[in-house]
Structure 1
C-alpha cells in the first residue's frame, strides 16, 4: 500500500495540509516501509493571487468552488495513494480528499514513519477535532 504524509522535511508530519511543501509517499508491505518518495506539493502560496470565494453561508472553511479546485491541484501528486496523513487541515480539504477516494487521517503522531506504520497496523486514530 502507498500512504502519503504531508511534510516539509520528509521526517515530520506537517500540522497544516495547505501550507506544507511536500508529500512523503511511503510504500508499505508486510508491516514494513519498503520505499519512500518525496513529492512536491502545491501550497497555499501558489494561489495567493487567485480569486478566493467567500465561504458558502453556514459552511466550514474550504468548501467553496475555488477551494475545491485548489485542493484538487494539491492532491494530484498522490492520486496513487490509499491514505493521506496530516496534523491538521480544513474541513473542505478533508472532504475533497475523501471525494478522490483517498482516506484522510488527521493525526497527533509527529514522526512520519511512526504515523505510516500506525496507519498500516490499524492503530491510528483520526483526530477530526483538529479540522478547522
Structure 2
C-alpha cells in the first residue's frame, strides 16, 4: 500500500490539501512503513500568497472546470497511492481523489510518523468534519 501525506517540510502534515507543497509517499507492508519518498505537488497555492476564488452563479466551490483541472494536476503525481492523509481539504479535492480511486483520511495529528503509525494500527480517527 502507498500512502501520500501532504506536507511542506517532510515532517508535519499540512492542514489543507490544496496548500501543501509536497507529498511524502510512504510504502507500507504488513503494518509497517517500508520506504518513503518526497514528491512535488502541483497546486494552486504557494506559501504566503493569497488566492482569490471566483464562482459562477450557483456554482459550488471546487467543482467548476478550472478547479477540477487544478485538482487533477494535484492528483497526477500520486495515482499509484491508495490513500491521502491531510489535515483538511475541500469537497472538490476530495471528489477528484475519489474519482482517481484514492481514499481520504483527515486528521489533527501533526507529526507524519505518528499519523502513519496510528493509521497502520487502525487507531487514527478520520475527522470528516475537516472536509469543507
TM-score interval (norm. to shorter) = 0.7 to 0.9
- The match for 1:125 is 125
Aligned-residue offset at 1:120 = 2.1
Q: CA deviation at 1:130?
A: 1.1
What is the TM-score of this pair, normalised by structure 2?
0.87
SS class of match (1:4): strand
The 3 A distance-change label for structure 1 pair 64 and 124 is same
How many residues are treated as equivalent by the alignment? Answer: 127
**Which 5+ residue runs of structure 1 have no aligned equivalent?**
none
Match of 1:57 in 2: 58
Moved over 3 A (4+): none
Q: Distance in 1 between matches of 2:65 and 2:119?
A: 31
Is 1:80 the counterpart of 2:80 in the alignment? Answer: yes
Is the 2:71–2:96 Cα contact (8 Å) retained in structure 1? yes
RMSD: 1.9
Segments of structure 2 that go 5 or more residues without pairing to the other structure are: none
What is the match of residue 69 of structure 1?
A: 69
Change (3 A) 1:6 1:117: same
For 1:6 and 1:29, locate their aligned partners in 2 and report how far apart those are by CA, in whole Å.
20
Quick check: 2:43–2:70 contact (8 Å CA) kept in 1?
no
* 2: CA distance, partners of 1:56 / 1:107: 33
